[in-house]
Structure 1
Amino acid sequence: MNFVEAMNQIESEKRILTVLDHEQEKLIISDEKIIWKNKETTFISEYQRELCKLTGTGLYNVGDYQVFCDTQANEKRLVICGGGHVGISVLKLAKFLGFYVVLIEDRPKFADTARKEGADEVLCDSFEHGLEGISSNYDTYFVIVTRGHRFDAGCVSKILNKHYAYIGMMGSKKRVATIKNQLLEEGYAPEKVNTVYTPIGIDIHSESPEEVAVSILAQVISVKNAVSRSYGYPRELLDAMTSSDEKKVLTTIISRKGSAPRGAGTKMLVLESGQCAGTIGGGCLESMVTSKAREMMFNEDEKFLVCTFDTTANLEDESMVCGGILEVLLERI
C-alpha cells in the first residue's frame, strides 16, 4: 500500500511524520500508533514511542535528527438546513471555499436545485430525520436557514446532541428568543444553547441572499480559524498525486519567517506539464519554489530536498512586499 492509498483508507485524524536528515522515513500516525511507514529503519524502531507522541504541525528534534510533523484533521463539512435562496447562496460560496457540503431540504424541487448547484450530498427529507442520519465531529459546521420557526427549533434540538464546531441559525431577534426559550424549557443547559450563533453571520448590513451568505461564511471562517489550523493533504491534492503518470514534485512549507503569507504544512504539487495543485501563497516565493521543483524533476539524483528561499534582501522592491524566508521540503512523487 502506497502513501496516497494509506491516506485514503485511514479515516481517523492522523499525523504524517517525515524524517528530514536520515533516510527520509515517512510515517502515518493515528491514535499514537504507526499505521503506515515507507520503510523500516533502526531509527523508527529506536524512537517509536517519541515519534508517536508528536503533535501539532512543525519541526521537532528526535534523537540526532529533525522530524517534520504534519497534522491531517478531518475534512471540513458544512451542513445546510434549508435549500431556499439563502441556502443555495451559502452552498455555492462554501464550495468555493473548499467545504464538503451537505444540504437537507424537504421540498424535491429545491433539493434538485441544490444538486445542480454542486452540493456533495443532498438529503430530500424532513430536517429532523435528515439530521438524525448525519454523522458529525468537531470539524462539522451547521447552518440553519429554513423557511420557518417550526423547522428551526427541531434542527437546533437535533444538532445540540451532536459534535459540532459551529451552529448558526437565521432569524429575527423575536424568533431567536422564542426558540432559545423553547430549548431551555426542553432541558438544554443555558451554556449549550448559547453556543448557537443567532442571528447568524457577522453584521455587514447584508440585504441580498448572496450578501447574507458572505456574512454567514465569514463567521464560519472566523470560528474555524480561531483554533490552530492544519493544512494537511487536501482531497484535491491527494487526487492530483495519482491522477497521471507525469513527473511531480510535492512542496511543503516546513518553517516560515517574516511576512510570507502561508504557514508550515501548506502544500503545492508541481506537475511536469507546468500546472500546480494548490498554492503556497503565490508571488515571488511561490515562483522560486516552483522553479526549483521543476529543476528537480529532471535531475535523477535529487529526490528529496530541503531548501531555503529568502526574499528579505529585496523588500525595497515593491513587488516583494510579502517577502520572507521559507524552508521548504521538496519530494519527488
Structure 2
Amino acid sequence: MRLDLLKQLNAERAARRATILVTSLDGSEQRLVREAEAAADPLADELLRRLDAGKSGVVEVAGRSWFLTVQVPPPRLVIIGAVHISQALAPMAAMVDLDVTIIDPRTAFATPERFPGVALVALWPEEALVRLPPLDPYTAVAALTHDPKIDDPALEAALKAGCFYVGALGSRKTHARRVERLAASGLSQELIGRLRAPIGLEIGAVSPPEIAVSVLAEVIAALRRSGPWERTRENGPTRAGP
C-alpha cells in the first residue's frame, strides 16, 4: 500500500469515518474512497453495498477485478445515566460487540464498583461529549436518568449527529414534555421524531434487567434494519459540536 494512502486510512479510522481502499488486482490503480464520496465513484453500487455489509472482498466491474478493503467504525453505545438498567445493559451490550460508554455527572452512581470494566465519564453530557470521540451514525445513545438536565443535552446532541439509534426512558406523558423542551431548543419535528420513547421494544418489561433486554433489542434492530451508508445518507454528515 502507498504510504500516503496508509496515512489517510489511519486518519479516517481515528476519526471514526468509514472508508474503502480500492485496489485493482492487476496492480495498476489504488485509491481511498471516503464514505461521503462513495455515491459519486465509478464503482458506486459495489462500494455502497460493501459499506452497508461492512465486509471486504473482490468485485468484478466492466471486466476489471478490484479488491475492496472496507473500514467501518465499530458500533458503540453511549448510555446516559449510571442507573440500575445501565448495570444490566452495559455487560449485555458488550457481549454483542458494542463499545459501551456511560456518562453520568453523579459520582455516587458512576463508580467502577457498580460498573466494572465499563468506560465511565463522570461529567455532565455537555462536557463529556466534547472529550469523547464525536457522536456519529455508528453510535447509539440511550438516555436513562429521567432527569432532563442530564438527558436532554445528550439527546439533542445525538439527534443532531444522526446517531443510528436515540432512545429515552420515560412514560408517554414524560415524553410529551420532553418533545416540548427539545422543540423549544430549536430541534425540528423531523429530528425529534427519530427519538425512540418510551425506550425499548414493547415486551412487557418490568424489572431493570428486562428493560435492558428491551433496549438492547431495539438498538440491535435499528443497527440491522438499515446499513450505515443508508443512515449517513438519510441523516447527513452533521456531527455534534461542543
Report the TM-score when normalising by structure 2.
Answer: 0.72
Report matched runs for 1:263-282 at 5 Å.
Answer: none
- Equivalent-residue separation in structure 2 for 1:158 and 1:192 (angstroms): 11
* Secondary structure of the structure 1 residue equivalent to 2:210: helix
Q: CA deviation at 1:152?
A: 2.5
Counterpart pick for 2:126 among 125, 128, 141: 128
Q: Map Cα deviations across residues 229-265 of structure 1 (whole Å, 9 max, x no partner).
A: 79xxxxxxxxxxxxxxxxxxxxxxxxxxxxxxxxxxx
Q: CA deviation at 1:52?
A: 8.8
- Equivalent-residue separation in structure 2 for 1:51 and 1:159 (angstroms): 31
1:167 corresponding residue in structure 2: 166
Q: Which has the higher helix share?
A: 2
Task: Give RMSD over aligned pairs.
Answer: 3.2
- Equivalent-residue separation in structure 2 for 1:26 and 1:106 (angstroms): 51
2:87 corresponding residue in structure 1: 88
2:238 corresponding residue in structure 1: none
Moved more, 128-137 or 175-184: 128-137
Q: CA deviation at 1:125?
A: 0.9
Q: Determine if contact 1:50/1:62 at 8 Å carries over to the other structure.
A: no
The alignment covers a number of residue pairs equal to 210
- Equivalent-residue separation in structure 1 for 2:228 and 2:139 (angstroms): 15
Counterpart pick for 1:13 among 18, 28, 47: 18
Q: CA deviation at 1:192?
A: 1.3
Greater RCO (Cα-Cα under 8 Å, separation 6 or more): 2
Report the TM-score when normalising by structure 1.
Answer: 0.54
- Equivalent-residue separation in structure 1 for 2:149 and 2:161 (angstroms): 20
- Equivalent-residue separation in structure 2 for 1:114 and 1:131 (angstroms): 23
- Equivalent-residue separation in structure 2 for 1:63 and 1:216 (angstroms): 45
Q: Go from structure 1 to structure 2 and tell me whether the alpha carbon gap of 1:114 and 1:27 turns closer, same or farther (over 3 Å shift).
A: farther
Q: Map Cα deviations across residues 116-142 of structure 1 (whole Å, 9 max, x no partner).
A: 4322x3211123332344411111111
Flag structure 1 segments of 5+ consecutive residues without an equivalent. Answer: 33-48, 231-333
Report matched runs for 1:1-333 at 5 Å.
Answer: 10-11=12-13, 12-17=17-22, 29-31=32-34, 50=42, 55=47, 56-57=49-50, 59-62=58-61, 64-113=63-112, 116-119=115-118, 121-134=119-132, 135-228=134-227
Paired letter, 2:193? N
Q: Which has the higher strand share?
A: 1
Q: Go from structure 1 to structure 2 and tell me whether the alpha carbon gap of 1:109 and 1:14 turns closer, same or farther (over 3 Å shift).
A: same
Flag structure 2 segments of 5+ consecutive residues without an equivalent. Answer: 36-40, 51-56, 230-242
Q: Go from structure 1 to structure 2 and tell me whether the alpha carbon gap of 1:79 and 1:183 turns closer, same or farther (over 3 Å shift).
A: same
* Secondary structure of the structure 2 residue equivalent to 1:15: strand
Q: Percent of aligned positions with the same letter in both sequences?
A: 25
* Secondary structure of the structure 1 residue equivalent to 2:160: coil
Q: Go from structure 1 to structure 2 and tell me whether the alpha carbon gap of 1:174 and 1:64 turns closer, same or farther (over 3 Å shift).
A: closer
Q: Go from structure 1 to structure 2 and tell me whether the alpha carbon gap of 1:16 and 1:157 turns closer, same or farther (over 3 Å shift).
A: closer
Larger radius of gyration: 1
Q: CA deviation at 1:70?
A: 4.6
- Equivalent-residue separation in structure 1 for 2:227 and 2:154 (angstroms): 29
- Equivalent-residue separation in structure 2 for 1:132 and 1:72 (angstroms): 24
Q: Map Cα deviations across residues 67-111 of structure 1 (whole Å, 9 max, x no partner).
A: 343532222121110011111222111111101111101122422
